């Protein structure tokens, strides 16, 4: 049985996705401001910005939904 005050796993997954998404998003912003000398094939689509923002939003929503749950 679960002890009182334990958080569900999705709480910690949300925190981790929020942090990783934020780092990927910031790396994408850095790449926009300082482009590499040899760009990759789809560099103009800036996938790190889109995926970083998606991960951060998804992680933030998971954190927000499970922040008060305890089993």
Give the predicted TM-score (pTM) of the model: 0.84
pLDDT score, position 71: 57
pLDDT score, position 57: 98
Average pLDDT, the chain: 91
pLDDT score, position 5: 76
Q: How far is CA 68 from the centre of its chain?
A: 20
Q: How many degrees, rounded to 5, is the angle at CA 33 between CA 29 and CA 38?
A: 105
Residue 30 neighbours by CB under 8 Å, 6+ apart: none
Q: What are φ and ψ of residue 19, in 5° steps?
A: -70, -45
Q: In which residue ranges of the chain is pLDDT below 50? A: 1
Distance CA 65, CA 15 (A): 12
Give the helix/strand (H/E) hosting 51: helix 47-66
SS3 20: helix
């Amino acid at each position: 049985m679960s002890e009182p005050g334990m958080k569900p796993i999705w709480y910690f997954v949300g925190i981790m996705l929020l942090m990783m998404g934020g780092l990927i998003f910031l790396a994408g912003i850095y790449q926009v401001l300082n482009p590499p000398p040899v760009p990759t094939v789809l560099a103009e689509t800036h996938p790190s910005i889109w995926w970083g923002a998606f991960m951060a939003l998804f992680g933030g929503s998971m954190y927000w939904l499970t922040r008060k749950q305890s089993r």
